[in-house]
Amino acid sequence: MPGRLTVHRPTPTTASFTVSNAPRRSNPTAKVLFAFGILLRVLSFICVIAVAITRARHHFFEEGSFSTIAWEDVWSSAAGRYACQLVDSYNPSVLAIAGTLILYGVFRRGHTEESLLVIRGFGIQTSTSSSTYLSTAATRFIPTTQIQDIVIHEAFKGFEVRFYLAVIVEGEPGVLVVFPQLLPGREVLEEVWRGSRRCLYDTKS
Amino acid sequence: MPYNIAMVSDFFFPQSGGIESHIYQLSSKLIDRGHKVIIITHAYKGRTGVRYLTNGLKIYHVPFFVIYRETTFPTVFSFFPIFRNIVIREQIEIVHGHASLSSFCGEAILHARTMGLRTVFTDHSLFGFADAASILTNKLLKFTLSDVDHAICVSHTCKENTVLRASLDPLMVSVIPNAVVAENFRPLSNDSRAADQGAMSPVDQRPQPAPIGPDDTITIVVISRLFYNKGTDLLIAAIPRILALNPNTRFIIAGSGPKAIDLEQMLERNVLQDKVEMLGSVRHEEVRDVMVRGHIYLHPSLTEAFGTVIVEAASCGLYVVCTRVGGIPEVLPQHMTTFAKPEEDDLVVATSKAIAALRSNKVRTDRFHDQVKMMYSWRDVAERTERVYKGITGDISPEEFYGSYPGQGWEVSGDRVRSFALIDRLKRYYGCGVWAGKLFCFCVVIDFLIYVFLEMWFPRANIDIARSWPRKPPADKSHSSNGGRRDQ
Amino acid sequence: MISPTSPTSPVPPPVPVDTHPNRASDTNPPGPDRIPDPDRLAPEDAYFAHSLSRVRSVPLNYEDGLRSLRAADSGVATLLPPRSNLNDVTRKDVRKIGPAGSRRRRKGVWKKLLWVKQSYPDNYTDTETFLDHLQRNPRVRPYDFWPLVADSTVIVQHVCSVVIFICCFVGIVQDRVSPVSIVCWGSVGTAIGWILWDNWIWEEQTELARNLVGVKGGDDESSSSSVTSAPHPSGHDPQSTGLKADTIHGLGLSMSPSAHHKEDVSHLTSDEPGAFYGIADPASHSAASFLSPSTRVPHADVPVIERASLFSSRNRQRLSTVKSAFLIYFSLLGLSPILKSLTKSTASDSIWALSCWLLIMNIFSFDYGSGEGAGDTTKFPASLSTNAAVMASTVLASRLPSTTHVFSLMLFSMEVFGLFPIFRRQLRQKSWTGHVLLTLALVMIAGGAVGTTLGGGWGSAVIGSFLGSLLTAFAMGGCSWWLISLQKYKNVVIGPWDPARPIIRRHWN
């Protein structure tokens, strides 16, 4: 899915370019679907937790350990008994693997968002969103004094030749690729390149 | 009309050699004429990815395995996706492959035909028909050339060879020789003059150079890789006899190779170290400096498609002694050369004759440079290549391009304008041989299926069109090279 | 067709040096007589078929529509409108070169040169000179049937001796034949063969020496030398027939012994191993003794050769032969116990397979040449074949039960694979009848041996030898006929593109 570019330019000396391949939710159906997706994630999470508790009831959730809930009553209720029976009929390793997968699905970020923040006089900061909601985005800051140039170049990637925007950093053997995951197309890159150069150097290019 | 041309070959810089400089010179002259040229080659050590040379010549170093002497392993179909990507993003119209040993080139021509592009192939070398390796190479060449739109050979002998090897229609093969950059191969006496006056000074005003006296030392230069097929054995056998027959003669030998040991042994056996100077391998830029130290250039090669080096030597004002093999007899006029049979005795006789001719001051070597400059230039090569491009793209009518010879049998194979229909292509490949034809057809069908698959999987709309370097108007305008930055 | 050299022009006008034999002779079109098979070279017959009708001045017919333009003398550019700017350049150059040259060139015939700017398009193909240096099958010598069959006898001989060896081994393993008897008969044959061979070599040397003296003497001596050499073939005839009989006896292991074997047996110990040095020291001895150049080497510079010195040198050689033979004999005797247990840990199946492959290798890499100039025609070193055979017999011998068995088989294998080929080669040079008879005998013996091995008894031996001879004859004839019939597919194309073969005199050696 090609990335979309969002440009924020709060002041003439600051610009933020964000490329994201998250689907745009403009119409009501998409919004409903999005809400439904969130609900599904919450439900699956609860379900996994419940199964885990049921499975581990003999070790942790016997009487007395958590006194706020009357675990005996829970297990002895009809639903509880059915749940116990169901959970015990599966191999614990299968349950563990399935649980891990579902948890990953719950926390997985469905899209990637990469951004380039340019502040004149300070430098630039690139950030790439992580693949799950649990960890934070990977960012990198390069002060202006270390930036030699910002260029667009081409490279082989897989069976393709792709354009990329790169920052040449002083004292480093390689270049820093901006938007390394999404690798947006040439039009987007040219806009970012022009904008960031104008912001950094105030040239009219 | 300007074309977008992709030159494809395994051989390109940083490796140096005849094919490499041919591609480079031709490309830059074509760019000067307003075309857009890119070069696709495989990755060399330390050269991967996309690069620009001066002039805006763009080079794709495609990462692939290298097996032998910078020739890639036949990757058959794995090259197709990336080739298609490059062709689409550069909006290529003509694919021009070089060198028959390059599997890259053969594959590119096959894929380009599948994609519906016009193709040209340039053959730079001669092959026999006898040994197993040539048979295999010839089959592959046949495969490559069955469907090519036009072939270019560097000499008439090369054309005959290619026509035979690939069973081509002779009218679909053009002969366009190599050329030399004459400015890089000036004789010594031209040095000062050329600096202030340029090329077009009247020839007659030049003073006659100092004549060679009967006792002056004549220096014979040999610059070649010391391989068997470069005739090093002949050279080894002839040197002591030439030196014995002609006093006041010296040799300068530049180049390296497996036969260098034999050569050194010969020098030691005959105690000729003071008369023969061995320089080892020299870079192409230094060739001229070596050449201008001598009077005669000796070229004992056993096979040669064109022999650029003898043109370079003549351009440096050297009298050329060479063997009459391959395309060499076509290259230089008689007053610049003495031909010998590839025999030791004849080589000695021819060299002695050349020495005698120089001593008697019969040969005006000081005029060679201007004459060579008139005979060979890359601009001329580019113009002639452009005519081939025009012919295959239909900008010149086929009758005009191929010539019509009414009632003379030339139109027997009326298949010169090659259609892109798969069935026509299969017909052409099927005629390649009993088994080979079927195998080739199979390959073509697979290639076509891959193409259809690629069109679905990686649609054209998703491929970014690369920006072209600003095309040159025919009038020359200099551009600075910024190594990929687009900030002009 | 030559443009004249104008002395004033700064650049000498081109002198088209490249001549084409067909250009001069119009009556001799290059096509049909040289290309017999029209469906071979597809591009040529596209126009060779029509070349008869073509006239020499191709460019005049070049394009009908343009002919009128050219008739109006509008110059080179009309020929090639798309290349007009190029032709401007061309014309400029032409003017520089000289007006006479330019006019000449425009009308002139196409030349196979690159440095001349010609008014033809680049893809112009000159029908008369195109591919005129092409040669097809220039050095092909068509085979004849009978010489081919005759030459195949060499292969048959070798295959038969290998078969005999295998049958002997099978006989030994199955306890049908005593190994000692086999090695005895083999050694007897070898001894006789060596004596004969020694005789021939000695004769050759004396003859050579006489010839050398004759040549030294002068021209008139040549007649006498021819006289001296004339009796030789006749003198050889009885000898070679005797030799035939002897060899057949010596190697015909199943045949009845001849009368004079007994007297040879006394020489056995001294003579039989003597021939061994062909294996033991092939480089020094066999080369020195029976290859022709070596005979020349020691004697060539001696002006007068005394027979006595020749004799003594001969005797000295014999003595050293005997010495080395003894050495090998005893070392083989000493090695036999080791060889016996060499492959104890290996399964018999692997041994059969290994020896099979080794013997096949021996047959395929054997030097079937005549012995003169051998080595430059064969791709394999001569030792490969012998080594393969010796190794095959070694691994086979290690399957045998006792030291005597092992020793006998090894000795026999050396005789069959090391010495017998030398003898066969010499016999073939000496007498053709002897060679044919030896072949016949070998075929029959091999057939009989196979028959005995498979069936057992004399009847099967006779049937085997009969069938074997028949089969061999058919195979020889069939293969020869096949090879001849394959000749028509030969299509060697030679032209100026082939790498030249340098001719070098090795004068400094």
What HEC string does C306-343 produce?
CHHHHHHHHHHHHHHHHHHHHHHHHHHHHHHHHHHCCC
Q: Would you state the pLDDT for residue C53? A: 35
Q: Would you state the pLDDT for residue B119? A: 92
Q: How is residue B443 written in tokens?
A: 């390959």
pLDDT digits (tens, 9 = 90+) for B128-150: 777 777 788 888 888 888 888 89
Same domain, B97 and B108: yes
Q: Would you state the pLDDT for residue B88? A: 92
Cis peptide, bond prior to residue B14, ω within 30 of zero: yes
Among all residues of chain C, which has the CA nearest to that of B205? C10
* Neighbour subunits, B (≥3 Cβ pairs < 8 A): A, C
Q: What pLDDT band is residue B46 in, cutting at 50, 70 and 90?
A: confident
Query: Distance, in angstroms, between B484 CA and closest chain A CA?
Result: 6
- Say if B151 is an interface residue toward chain C (CB within 8 Å): no
Residues C361, C416 contacting (CB under 8 angstroms): no
Task: List the single residue in C63, C112, C498 with the smallest CB-CB distance to B403.
Answer: C63
Task: Count Cβ atoms within 10 A of the Cβ of residue B32 and give its class: 0-12 exposed, 13-18 middle, 19 or more buried.
Answer: middle
Q: Exposed e or buried b for every residue in B267-291, given b needs 16+ CB within 10 A?
A: beebebeebbebbeebeeeebbebb
Residues from chain B contacting residue A193 (CB–CB below 8 Å): 486
Among all residues of chain B, which has the CA nearest to that of A188? B464
Number of B–C residue contacts, CB under 8 Å: 199
**Domain that includes residue B201, residue range:** 182-376
pLDDT digits (tens, 9 = 90+) for A72-94: 777 778 888 888 888 888 887 88
Q: What pLDDT band is residue C164 in, cutting at 50, 70 and 90?
A: very high
Residues from chain B contacting residue A163 (CB–CB below 8 Å): 464, 466
pLDDT digits (tens, 9 = 90+) for B268-324: 998 888 889 999 888 888 888 999 888 999 999 988 888 888 999 999 989 999 998
| Listed range (B432-441, C249-258, C493-502) with the worst mean pLDDT | C249-258
- Say if C113 is an interface residue toward chain B (CB within 8 Å): yes
Distance CA B94, CA B173 (A): 16
Distance CA C487, CA B35 (A): 53
User: Does residue C96 lie in a domain region?
Assistant: yes
Q: How is residue C506 written in tokens?
A: 């090795």
Helix or strand holding residue C357 (H, E): helix C348-365
Interface of A with B in 13-72 (CB under 8 A): none
Interface of C with B in 21-80 (CB under 8 A): 41-43, 46-47, 49-51, 53-54, 61-64
Distance CA B70, CA B407 (A): 48
Average pLDDT over residues A156-181: 86
Same domain, C170 and C74: no
- Mutation target to probe the C interface, by most C beta carbons within 10 A, among B122, B125, B134, B160 is B160
Residue ending a domain, choose from B376, B410, B442: B376
Q: Would you state the pLDDT for residue B436? A: 85
Q: Would you state the pLDDT for residue A39? A: 92
Interface of B with A in 81-100 (CB under 8 A): 81-82, 85-86, 89
Residues A177, A150 contacting (CB under 8 angstroms): no
DSSP A22: P
Same domain, C103 and C158: no
Residue C505 makes CB contacts below 8 A (sequence gap 6+) with: B237, B344, B345
For chains C and A, having 3+ Cβ pairs within 8 Å is answered no
Same domain, B232 and B164: no
Query: Distance, in angstroms, between A196 CA and closest chain B CA?
Result: 13
Q: Would you state the pLDDT for residue B298? A: 92
3-state secondary structure of C135: strand
Same domain, B148 and B210: no
- Please give the share of chain C, as a percent, with pLDDT higher than 70: 56
Q: Would you state the pLDDT for residue C50? A: 38
Looking up residue B278, the CATH number of its domain turns out to be 3.40.50.2000
Interface of B with C in 296-325 (CB under 8 A): 300, 302-303, 305-306, 323, 325
Residues C464, B270 contacting (CB under 8 angstroms): no
Same domain, B233 and B98: no
Q: What pLDDT band is residue C215 in, cutting at 50, 70 and 90?
A: low
Same domain, B210 and B343: yes
Total domains present in chain C: 2
With CB atoms and an 8 Å threshold, state whether B63 touches A156.
yes
Q: What pLDDT band is residue C130 in, cutting at 50, 70 and 90?
A: confident
Radius of gyration, alpha carbons of chain B: 24
Same domain, C127 and C242: no
pLDDT digits (tens, 9 = 90+) for B376-431: 999 999 999 998 998 888 888 777 777 655 444 444 445 677 778 888 888 888 88
Q: Phi first, then psi: what are they for B18, rounded to 5°? A: -65, -45
With CB atoms and an 8 Å threshold, state whether A152 touches B486.
yes
- Residue B155: count other Cβ atoms within 10 Å of its Cβ: 30
Distance CA B407, CA C63 (A): 12
With CB atoms and an 8 Å threshold, state whether B464 touches A153.
no
Same domain, C100 and C184: no
Q: Would you state the pLDDT for residue B473? A: 65
3-state secondary structure of C498: coil
Quote the mean pLDDT of chain C.
66
Q: What pLDDT band is residue B17 in, cutting at 50, 70 and 90?
A: confident
Q: Would you state the pLDDT for residue C348? A: 86
Q: What pLDDT band is residue C228 in, cutting at 50, 70 and 90?
A: very low
Query: Distance, in angstroms, between C112 CA and closest chain B CA?
Result: 6
| pLDDT higher than threshold 80 for residue B80 | yes
Domain limits, chain A: 4-22+112-201, 28-107
Interface of B with A in 390-409 (CB under 8 A): none
Residues B316, B365 contacting (CB under 8 angstroms): no
With CB atoms and an 8 Å threshold, state whether C495 touches B174.
no
Residue ending a domain, choose from B376, B405, B426: B376
DSSP C12: P
- Say if B487 is an interface residue toward chain A (CB within 8 Å): yes
pLDDT digits (tens, 9 = 90+) for B452-467: 999 998 888 888 888 8
Which is more confidently placed, A75 or C100?
A75
Which is more confidently placed, A133 or C447?
C447
| pLDDT higher than threshold 70 for residue A33 | yes
User: Does residue C508 lie in a domain region?
Assistant: no
Task: List the single residue in B163, B303, B330 with the smallest CB-CB distance to C499.
Answer: B303
**Domain that includes residue C180, residue range:** 145-489
Which is more confidently placed, B488 or C395?
C395
Q: Exposed e or buried b for every residue in B400-422, given b needs 16+ CB within 10 A?
A: bbbbebeebbbbeeeebebeeee
Same domain, C195 and C244: yes
- Mutation target to probe the B interface, by most B beta carbons within 10 A, among C5, C116, C122 is C122
Average pLDDT over residues B180-188: 87
Interface of C with B in 129-148 (CB under 8 A): 130-131, 133-134
Among all residues of chain B, which has the CA nearest to that of C8? B204
The residue assigned the tokens 């140039």 is A149
Task: List the single residue in B50, B484, B486 with the smallest CB-CB distance to A161.
Answer: B50
Q: Would you state the pLDDT for residue B452? A: 94
Exposure on the CB side of residue B243, measured as CA atoms within 13 A: 21
Residues C1, C108 contacting (CB under 8 angstroms): yes
Q: Would you state the pLDDT for residue C208? A: 83
| pLDDT higher than threshold 60 for residue B446 | yes
Same domain, C122 and C269: no
With CB atoms and an 8 Å threshold, state whether C500 touches B380.
no
Interface of B with C in 210-229 (CB under 8 A): 229
Same domain, C34 and C174: no
pLDDT digits (tens, 9 = 90+) for B145-169: 888 889 999 988 888 888 888 888 8
Which is more confidently placed, B76 or B182?
B182
For chains B and C, having 3+ Cβ pairs within 8 Å is answered yes
Q: What pLDDT band is residue C293 in, cutting at 50, 70 and 90?
A: very low
Task: List the single residue in B50, B85, B487 with the smallest CB-CB distance to A153.
Answer: B50
With CB atoms and an 8 Å threshold, state whether B408 touches C50.
yes
User: Does residue C265 lie in a domain region?
Assistant: yes
Q: Would you state the pLDDT for residue B77? A: 79
User: Does residue C435 lie in a domain region?
Assistant: yes
Same domain, C39 and C157: no
User: Does residue C310 lie in a domain region?
Assistant: yes
Same domain, C340 and C279: yes
Same domain, B170 and B207: no
User: Does residue B329 lie in a domain region?
Assistant: yes
Q: Would you state the pLDDT for residue B95? A: 93
With CB atoms and an 8 Å threshold, state whether B128 touches C498.
yes
β-strands B249-254, B276-280 pairing:
parallel
Residues from chain B contacting residue A159 (CB–CB below 8 Å): 81-82, 85, 458
With CB atoms and an 8 Å threshold, state whether C17 touches B396.
no
- Residue C198: count other Cβ atoms within 10 Å of its Cβ: 19
* Neighbour subunits, A (≥3 Cβ pairs < 8 A): B
pLDDT digits (tens, 9 = 90+) for B208-217: 556 677 778 8
Q: What pLDDT band is residue B2 in, cutting at 50, 70 and 90?
A: confident
Average pLDDT over residues C165-187: 89
User: Does residue B479 lie in a domain region?
Assistant: no
Same domain, C275 and C306: yes
Residue C344 makes CB contacts below 8 A (sequence gap 6+) with: C398
Interface of B with C in 333-352 (CB under 8 A): 333-335, 341-345
Among all residues of chain C, which has the CA nearest to that of B125? C497
Q: Would you state the pLDDT for residue C431? A: 84
In terms of CATH architecture, what is A4-22+112-201?
A: Roll (2.30)
Same domain, C302 and C417: yes
Same domain, B435 and B326: no
| Listed range (B191-205, C154-168, C466-480) with the worst mean pLDDT | B191-205
Q: Would you state the pLDDT for residue A205? A: 45
Question: Partners of B153 in the beta sheet?
Answer: B123, B175
Query: Distance, in angstroms, between B14 CA and closest chain A CA?
Result: 19
| B343: region left, alpha or beta (phi > 0 left; psi from -120 to 50 alpha) | beta
Average pLDDT over residues A38-61: 83
Residue B326 makes CB contacts below 8 A (sequence gap 6+) with: B126, B155, B157, B158, B301, B303, B304, B305, B307, C496, C497
Same domain, B105 and B237: no
Q: Would you state the pLDDT for residue B66? A: 53
* CA diameter of chain A: 76
- Say if A157 is an interface residue toward chain B (CB within 8 Å): no
Query: Distance, in angstroms, between A26 CA and closest chain B CA?
Result: 24
Distance CA B482, CA C375 (A): 63
Residue B101 makes CB contacts below 8 A (sequence gap 6+) with: B10, B71, B125, B137
* Neighbour subunits, C (≥3 Cβ pairs < 8 A): B
Alpha helices by DSSP H, C366-454: 382-397, 403-413, 420-430, 432-454
Q: At what angle do helices B434-457 and B422-430 cross, to 10 degrees?
A: 150
Q: Would you state the pLDDT for residue C30? A: 39
Average pLDDT over residues B44-48: 81
Total domains present in chain B: 2
ipTM: 0.76
Residue A45 makes CB contacts below 8 A (sequence gap 6+) with: A103, A106
What HEC string does chain B produce?
CCCEEEEECCCCCCCCCHHHHHHHHHHHHHHHCCCEEEEEEECECCECEEEECHHHCEEEEECCCEEECCEECCCCCCCHHHHHHHHHHHCCCEEEEECCCCHHHHHHHHHHHHCCCEEEEEECCCCCCCCHHHHHHHHHHHHHHCCCCEEEECCHHHHHHHHHHHCCCHHHEEECCCCCCHHHCCCCCHHHHHHHHCCCCCCCCCCCCCCCCCCCCEEEEEECCCCHHHCHHHHHHHHHHHHHHCCCEEEEEECCCCCHHHHHHHHHHHCCCCCEEEEECCCHHHHHHHHCCCCEEEECCCCCCCCHHHHHHHHCCCEEEEECCCCHHHCCCHHHEEEECCEHHHHHHHHHHHHHHHHCCCCCHHHHHHHHHHHCCHHHHHHHHHHHHHHHHCCCCHHHHHCCCCCCCHHHCCCCCCCCCHHHHHHHHHCCCHHHHHHHHHHHHHHHHHHHHHHHHCCHHHCCCCCCCCCCCCCCCCCCCCCCCCCC
DSSP A144: G
Q: How distant, in Å, are the alpha carbons of A55, B233, B346, B371 from that of C506?
A: 94, 11, 15, 40
Quote the mean pLDDT of chain B.
82
Which is more confidently placed, C9 or C370?
C370
Residues A6, A188 contacting (CB under 8 angstroms): no
Angle, CA of A152, B20 and B464, to the nearest 5°:
25
Q: Would you state the pLDDT for residue C360? A: 93
User: Does residue B296 lie in a domain region?
Assistant: yes
